[in-house]
Structure 1
Amino acid sequence: MAETTLHSHSRAGGNPESSPVAEKLITDYIDIWTTAIEQKSSAGRGSSNKFSLYGIKKLRELILELAVRGKLVPQDTNDEPVSVLLERIAAEKAQLVKEGKLKKQKPLPEISEDEKPFELPQGWEWCPSISLFTLTKGKKPKVLSESNIGFPYLDIEALDRNNVLRYTNDEMCPKSSSDDIIVVCDGSRSGLVLDGKDGVLGSTLAIINTPPYIQAFIKLFFQQAFLRLNASMKGAAIPHLDTKALRESFIAFPPIEEQHRIVAKVDELMSLCDALEAQTEASIAAHQTLVETLLNALLLPQATANTASQSDISLEPSFTNSFDKDWQRVAEHFDTLFTTAASIDTLKQTILQLAVMGKLVPWGEGLRTGELKEYLSFGPRNGFSPKETSSATDVSVLKLGATTYGYLDLNQTKYVDIKVEDSSHLWLRDGDILIQRGNSANYVGCNCLIKMDVTGVIYPDLMMKLRTVKDLNPEFLSIWLSSPKSRQFMWDRMTGTSGTMPKISKKIVESIPVIIPSITVQTLIVAKVEELMALCEQLKACLADVQTTQLHLADAIVEQAV
């Protein structure tokens, strides 16, 4: 349908009018563009899952693809023939050669039928890239200084984030101006197009030299080619832009008047994408705020449900007269509330907190309160991180990522060449709880319950291990330590600054307040949490399937449209 629509709006003569093709693609598939969201894995503090607006990203790519294929605006037979424009460019280059400002080029190649990726619109021509632009590579000066003396040194940080960090007095290095357009030639962002600034051009960048009157269209060509150029980069560890292949490529080139119309239309549609992106992000944020507000109401104590916030862990079970009403409100809107990964993660955190507040399973009689240290048979005790060895040994040590997501990943270990006594506390056994005591602030305080005896594996220095007394179910304690209030208790007492590694001490873990119900109630709480967490994971899996379908739909629309 999209292909038919595109061709039905293409015309070859008359006065140019605004083409409704792209606008129709935006409006007809608005739900796909705004709901095709790609989730990125995240863990740790809070529920701020990262995501990318994949659908809008694909829409931007489609706009650029239509632009360079001549499908974004209609053609006009009154436009000056592109051959006249090409003659002007050739004459200017010949004059530069005559003046010694440009080397004489070899005869330009002609494009074969097999090399043409698509059929050109009326009035367009295939042109060798080298006839339209050349590249001037940057160079790293011998002397760079952080003192604001001389020329700004222009790297990606300076151009993309407007953050100049170094300067140079080197007069021999290539210089850029604010009139230039720059392409990244080395590194993970190779092919990225940036606006120039006044200064010395960095070694990973190149100026795109092209006549100023076609510069805007050439910039579109590079922007559209970004993904394709990345796919053809050279180099394994550090990718490089294949400038030779770029020079030998061909560009579909329109008359100058149509170039102006295309650039204006791209600017207009990209502004629409900006607005759509902002609206979508605002909608997602508002949805998450609503979820958090409704779920937080379930956690507030009696008589303060509208105003109070618990900054610490209460040593008494807390209930609110409005709990049933608050839960009913969540239940009635469950299908519309829990439609994102972030909202489901917030639900999981709420379940953990409700579990340790006695709201999933009644506490019953015989509650005991105190600090953790009162209910431990071992630890907390730090691990050991000996030097890694490349050859296989009888002992390996866990990497920090082995417990990040709450389960033990035995694929994340490294061999160490040491002897460990059979009686050492470093060995892992069923019922041990590992707590990450250092590294990223997001992961400090994460815990993992070991549910099997592990042979030949010890735990590292940035983890601590503990074991519970007989009448404290280790699964219940793991849930307690994972609850938001316990995590917050540890974060509030964490040491370290932005320049040093955040850590928690054994004393902090020992002092976490706990409420211990009977062993029977502990078992019931563990079973209920496992049941609800399994339902959350099923919900997440269904959501992932839906999101995958939406991503595929966005891809299919783009493929059909071009």
Structure 2
Amino acid sequence: MDANQFLAEFGHIANAPGGIARLRELVYQFAVTGKLTQQREEDGGADSVLTNVARIRKQLIAEKKFKRSPKLESTQLVPPLIDLPPSWRWSRLLDLGEINPRNQVEEDSESVIMATFVPMAAVSELHSIAIAGDVRPWSEIKKGYTHFANGDVLLAKITPCFENGKSAVVRGLEHNIGSGSTEFHVFRPISEDVNPAYIYLFIRSPLFRAKGEASMTGTAGQKRLPTDYFALCAMPFPPTEEQSRIVAKVDELMALCDQLEVQQQKRRTLQNNLRQSILQAVAASQSSQELKESWQRLQTNFGQLFSTPEDVAQLRALILDLAVHGLLVERSNVDTPLDTWLEQVKTTKAHLVKQKLIPKQTAFSNVPEEEYPFPLPKGWAFVRLGEIANKIGSGSTPRGGRKVYVNKGIPFLRSQNIWNNGLRLDDVAYIPAEVHERMSGTAVAANDVLLNITGASLGRCALVPADFGEANVSQHVTIIRLTDVEIREYIHLCILSPYTQAMIWGRQVGMAREGLSKKVLEQFEIPLPPIAEQKRIVARVAELMKFCDTLESKLHRTLVVSEHLATASVATLTGIATEQEEEPMKAPKTELVAPVRLGTPPGIKSQAPLATILARHSGEMSAKDLWQRFGGEIDAFYAQLKVEVAHGWILEPEKAEMLEKIEE
């Protein structure tokens, strides 16, 4: 290994996304190619070890104590073009021990022999973590399962467990024998000169894994590493004493990687806390001048405060919070007073009622100034949402439910179609025109505001375009039809603000399925400025959101470039490309289980729908159940999950594991 080259690349690798994992790959690769420890003349050579192993193997075969693989034994060893130290030799697991052996237990003692059963979940993805299981009678688990014993090496052969590194050296089994998932490959050394821990390093190295991933067979989500690859992959083999030194050095370096990982996590936590503190200081500004000064401090430290695209979500929330507090734009004395506009709205509604174009409207009490949720600028007022809307009401499910859906017809908008940046109609359902006519009371009109009122997507809000045609909505979506459509954009951003989102999440009603009722929504206290100022606020928010888009895009590009650079650095140092093209997974597979657990509970103003769902379900759910309750597209679910993990509201999920099909 070129130490200068490694040090030059170290920073690129360690600080990239997944950088510590890259460093671990380097350690494994250097370990099994003779670049991690010095060779010693007194160790002798690998030739004598291989000769001795071959002798033991021949003897075990003669005694019928060795499980042979006749179809594999005729295959020639084909080593890659990698230089090895002079004392090393190329070998294969097939030549060093048994592949997927069977444990031998006397039949008359099976009923009293106890063994350890180890499920896939008990094998860690981390380095050198012992496996665990439960003790059962051997007679119950001897058939239909993989066999192993202390000193064996386990490797998960299915996707995604193989890609995630699930493997182990079996240690600490009670009664020495074990059984477990059928989705393990097992190697059992036949000589003490073959160190199981060194074999473990090899199957975790890019030398083994890169080509291994490309060799997997089967369909997406059900791929497996073939036995022939596991048994026949060319393996660099050092003398016995050097194997032990390599294992010790790797353990030492992995401990350093652990420390570096902890340091990075602490640094990230400090960054998150600092960013939140500065953003809160900006939000607490009491005047335009104070806001200008605190924003300047924020802008000066953008590079230190924002390092991932997910961080920008807090900045977006801050902008919306400042908008509804009246701190984003200057006020003007020439704006039409809000009171004048409110009288016009009242007159318009009365005229529409008289013409029987809208039903008789509920009378709403004013919001007393002493009950304002927060102070407002001069000229603003809190008004009830019902005061400024002709209609607030949810849709309904058509009689017959999904059975009445058709391939073409009137769009039927459900919660998964309602997004903050607009309607998404790629998976919209359709209902016949006659069904739409029967549901005329829940028909959508141009310029309506649509709000999700139940489920995990509670609070998502979209504007219906002015040129939108006919549509209807489900019972999970409410229509807010404003008396003056000129305010729709301001009302939209107000609904998305932390202030209103806190009301939405905090004022739900119902026992079986919580949600927002019409009566509750009508009473929402909306901070309302004069119409001209609303338009200036909307324009300013749009400008700042474009800045957020740019910042987000820049951070994303930086992470992508950093990751590619780290990958290239590892490939340069190891001579092996470790990246394989991934097949997109559009939805969690039924057979995949990834427990998601609640972390630090979010504050009431935090936009954390997934953490909120978890809090209502004992703090833990499977990824699939959580996704279904979220109610959106899978890509949006994963994006939201990533945001909430970054904030610590949800713990970092473990990788999905294949459910084992335990035979009865």
Task: Sort the TM-score into its range (normalised by shorter chain).
Answer: 0.7 to 0.9
Task: Kindly indicate whether the alpha-carbon contact (under 8 Å) linking 2:271 and 2:305 is maintained by their aligned counterparts in 1.
Answer: yes
Question: In the alignment, is the contact (CA less than 8 A) between 1:300 and 1:320 conserved in 2?
Answer: no
- Which whole-Å CA distance do the structure 1 matches of 2:414 and 2:62 have between them? 65
Match status 1:387 vs 2:402:
yes
Cα separation, 1, equivalents of 2:244 and 2:404: 62
Q: Cα distance, 1:480 vs. partner?
A: 0.7
**1:396–1:414 contact (8 Å) kept in structure 2:** yes
**1:297-319 alpha-carbon deviations (Å, 9 max, x no partner):** 122376xxxxxxxxxxxxxxxx5
For the 8 Å contact 2:37–2:246, the answer to whether it is kept is yes
Q: Which residue of 1 aligns with 2:491?
A: 477
Instruction: Summarize the Cα distance change of 1:340–1:105 in structure 2 as closer, same or farther, 3 Å threshold.
Output: closer
- Pairwise CA distance, 1:383: 4.7
Tell me which moved more, 406-415 or 265-274: 406-415
Query: Greater CA deviation, 484-493 or 157-166?
Result: 157-166
2:195 maps to 214
Partner of 1:44: none
The 2-side partners of 1:501 and 1:68 are apart by 57
Who is 1:84 aligned against? Answer: 48
- Amino acid in the other structure paired with 1:393: K
Q: 1:521 to 1:68 in 2, by over 3 A?
A: same
CA shift in 2, pair 1:216/1:464, >3 Å: same
Shift of 1:97: 2.1
Q: Give, in whole Å, the separation in 2 of the partners of 1:95 and 1:510.
A: 86
Q: Deviations over 1:219-249 (max 9, x none)?
A: 1111123454233221114112222232232
Partner of residue 421 from structure 1, selected from 409, 413, 436: 436
Match of 1:28 among 2, 8, 27: 8
Give the 3 Å change call, closer, same or farther, for CA 104–181 of structure 1 in structure 2. Answer: closer
Letter matched to residue 395 of structure 2: N
Give how far 1:527 is off: 0.5
Report the AA paired with residue 413 of structure 1.
V
Are 2:81 and 1:97 aligned?
A: no
Q: Which residue of 1 aligns with 2:529?
A: 517
Deviation at 1:105, TM superposition (A): 5.0
2:427 aligned with 1:412, yes or no? yes
Task: Determine if the alignment matches structure 1 residue 194 to structure 2 residue 173.
Answer: no
Aligned-partner Cα distance in 1 for 2:476–2:101: 46
Hey, what does 1:66 align to over in structure 2?
A: 30
Distance 1:119 1:428, change over 3 A: farther
C-alpha distance in 2, partners of 1:453/1:253?
A: 71
| 1:111 aligned residue | 77
> Residue 538 of structure 2 is aligned with which of 517, 523, 526?
526
The answer as to 2:433 corresponding to 1:433 is no
The structure-2 alpha-carbon separation of the partners of 1:284 and 1:85, relative to structure 1 and needing over 3 Å to count, comes to same
Matched, 1:327 2:327: no
Q: Distance in 2 between matches of 1:360 and 1:157?
A: 52
Cα deviation for residue 519 of structure 1 reads 1.4
Pair 1:377 & 2:417 matched: no
Deviation at 1:336, TM superposition (A): 3.2
Change (3 A) 1:398 1:185: farther
Instruction: Report if aligned partners of 2:385, 2:525 keep a CA contact under 8 Å in 1.
Output: yes
In the TM superposition, residue 532 of structure 1 has moved relative to its aligned partner by 0.4
Tell which deviates more after alignment, 182-191 or 166-175.
166-175
Provide the rounded CA distance (Å) in 1 between the counterparts of 2:120 and 2:156: 8
1: distance between equivalents of 2:413 and 2:133?
41
Distance of 2:247 and 2:430 partners within structure 1: 58
- Contact 1:361-1:525 within 8 A present in 2 as well: yes
Letter in 2 for 1:463: V
Instruction: Return the alpha-carbon distance in structure 2 between the equivalents of residues 388 and 29 of structure 1.
Output: 60
Counterpart position of 1:230: 213
Answer yes or no: is the 8 Å Cα contact 1:157–1:163 preserved in 2. Answer: no
How large is the RMSD of aligned CA atoms in angstroms?
3.4
Q: List runs of 5+ in structure 2 lacking aligned partners.
A: 104-113, 126-130, 339-379, 575-664
Counterparts of 1:285-304 in structure 2, within 5 Å, are 285-300=269-284
Preserved CA contact (<8 Å) 1:137 1:205: no
How far apart are residue 171 of structure 1 and its match?
A: 4.4
Paired residue type of 2:29: E
The amino acid of 1:88's aligned partner reads N
What is the rounded CA distance, in whole Å, between the counterparts of 2:236 and 2:8 in structure 1? 28
Aligned-pair CA distance for 1:124: 1.7
Distance of aligned partners of 1:336 and 1:262 in 2 relative to their CA distance in 1, 3 Å threshold: same
Q: Distance in 2 between matches of 1:406 and 1:478?
A: 10
CA distance in 2, matches of 1:537, 1:100: 69
Q: Which amino acid aligns with 1:379?
A: I
Aligned counterpart, 1:462: 476
TM-score, L = length of structure 1:
0.78
Deviation at 1:260, TM superposition (A): 1.8
2:184 aligned with 1:205: yes
- 1:240 aligned counterpart, secondary structure: coil
Structure 1 Cα separation of the partners of residues 478 and 35 of structure 2: 62
**How many matched pairs?**
494
User: Could you tell me how far 1:130 is from its partner in structure 2?
Assistant: 1.0
CA distance in 2, matches of 1:209, 1:452: 70
Corresponding residue for 1:444? 458
1:347 aligns with 2:315: yes
* 1:39-78 → structure 2 map (5 Å cutoff): 54-78=18-42
| 2:142 corresponds to | 172
Select between 389-398 and 482-491 the one with higher mean Cα deviation: 389-398
